[in-house]
Amino acid sequence: MKHVLMILVCAASLGCFFGPRARTVAVAREPNGTSVKIMLPSRTITNAELLAVSDTDITMLWSDTVWSILYPGAREMAFSDVAVTLDNGRRPTPVEQGRLRLASRFPQGLSPNLEARMLAAHHQPAVAFMAP
């Protein structure tokens, strides 16, 4: 009986078949961040790339420009590969923030060196700030 139980435990622990697979999540196969859609009071931003996530804002690449937007400035933020939607300027919870970071191009954050390289690649003197 112990052997049968041990075999069942070993067989069950060989693999998990639940949750997303790397082959089905674009950010796991490509060097880009997930796509973000942002609804502002004045317009809607679609197909922006999530570059980095912080406690106060997100940094994204949209229309060949590096942008930063504060959470309170958006009516809604939705992300294509992460089941997180931020409504009415709500900041992400620590768990949501962790998931968003993993889906961004720079999960470790945008260091001053990386930021400077991104800005130089897009011919910008500084990050553009998106006003609501």
Q: State pLDDT tens for residues 51-82.
A: 999 999 999 999 999 999 999 999 999 999 89
Q: Which helix (H) or strand (E) element contains residue 99?
A: helix 94-103
Top-confidence residue, 95 or 33? 95
CA distances from 99 to 44, 50, 119 (A): 23, 12, 25
CA angle (127 as vertex; 26, 56 as ends), nearest 5 = 75
Q: How far apart are CA 51 and CA 106, in angstroms?
A: 6
Average the pLDDT over each of 18-22, 33-37, 67-71, 86-90 and give the range with the smallest value: 18-22
Report pTM: 0.77
Give the whole-angstrom CA distance, residue 65 versus residue 114: 15
Contacts of 24 (CB under 8 A, 6+ apart): none
Helix (H, G, I), strand (E, B) or coil at 14: coil
